[in-house]
Structure 1
Amino acid sequence: MADLALQFGGDLAIGPTGDLLLSEGTTLTQQRVLRRLLTNPLDYIWQLNYGAGLGKYVGQPGAPAAIAGMARTQILLEAAVVASPAPIVGVMAQTDGTVNLSLSYTDAAAGETSALTFSL
């Protein structure tokens, strides 16, 4: 099922026909995973326990391990992500305080491995 194309923190996009752009398949799964990982708990008023709030870990002692654990737990809550094989989460803290995440998971709809990389 398609949904509006909306990257976390971005704006709605216009499609080639002038309508709102839709997202589906692996792109939709990536949008949902990114939204879940970056949304703070209590910020989504319809589901208060939704979200990992990974941004709060930046600059904290032990942040890479905490981020990896939280990301692994939260990504498995998405119905579009297959639990087996387990998602692979890589976290790399940079000297400037930035934290880079790389996720590898199996998309349930496509049955293929997908990768998602982003920075906090």
Structure 2
Amino acid sequence: MNDLDHWVGADLGVSATGDLAVAAGDTRTQQRIVRRLCTNPGDYMFHPDYGAGLPAKIGQNADLPALRALIRTQVLMEDAVAKLPEPEVDLVQISTGFSITIRYTSADTRKPVTLSFDVNR
């Protein structure tokens, strides 16, 4: 299955022919993880448990172990992420937000995947 190629905070992707680009495989999963982590809980009316709301936590006293657990829980809600081995989350507070690295196993390919990104104001 494909999704529109869209990273949170960026424009929709465009293909070489000028059409809307699609994201598949690991790229699709990575985009879905970032979207889930940046969405505030309750923003999707019919999915109240969707989202970690990480941008809203910038500037607060960060409880890094609790945030790691929140990220791991949200990542495991994605069907394309294997439940075992459990995802590993590295989280560092930076001056403008958080730097996050997630290592997980693809449920589709059973191969390890690494996703690194920053959540900024």
- TM-score normalised according to structure 1 size: 0.90
Deviates more, 1:59-68 or 1:97-106: 59-68
Determine the structure 2 residue equivalent to 1:86: 86
* Contact 1:100–1:118 (8 Å) recurs in 2: yes
Q: Structure 1: which 5+ residue stretches go unaligned?
A: none
Give the RMSD, CA atoms, in angstroms: 1.4
Deviates more, 1:64-73 or 1:52-61: 52-61
Task: Classify 1:17/1:68 alpha carbon distance in 2 versus 1 (closer, same or farther; 3 Å).
Answer: same
Task: Classify 1:62/1:11 alpha carbon distance in 2 versus 1 (closer, same or farther; 3 Å).
Answer: closer
Task: Classify 1:58/1:65 alpha carbon distance in 2 versus 1 (closer, same or farther; 3 Å).
Answer: farther
CA distance in structure 1 between the aligned counterparts of 2:99 and 2:62, rounded to whole angstroms: 14
Determine the structure 1 residue equivalent to 2:105: 106
Determine the structure 2 residue equivalent to 1:117: 116
Letter in structure 2 aligned against 1:38 = C
2:27 partner SS: helix
After TM superposition, list the pairs within 5 Å mapping 1:1-120 onto structure 2.
1-94=1-94, 96-120=95-119
* Contact 1:8–1:35 (8 Å) recurs in 2: yes
CA distance in structure 1 between the aligned counterparts of 2:75 and 2:13, rounded to whole angstroms: 25
Q: What is the aligned length? A: 119
* Contact 1:26–1:110 (8 Å) recurs in 2: no
The list of structure 1 runs, each at least 4 consecutive aligned residues, that deviate by more than 4 angstroms after superposition, is none
Letter in structure 2 aligned against 1:47 = H
CA distance in structure 1 between the aligned counterparts of 2:58 and 2:66, rounded to whole angstroms: 10
Deviation at 1:97, TM superposition (A): 4.4
- What percentage of residue pairs aligned between the two structures are identical? 39
CA displacement, residues 90-109 of structure 1 (integer Å, 9 cap, x when unaligned) = 11113x24321110001111
1:93 partner SS: strand
- TM-score normalised according to structure 2 size: 0.90
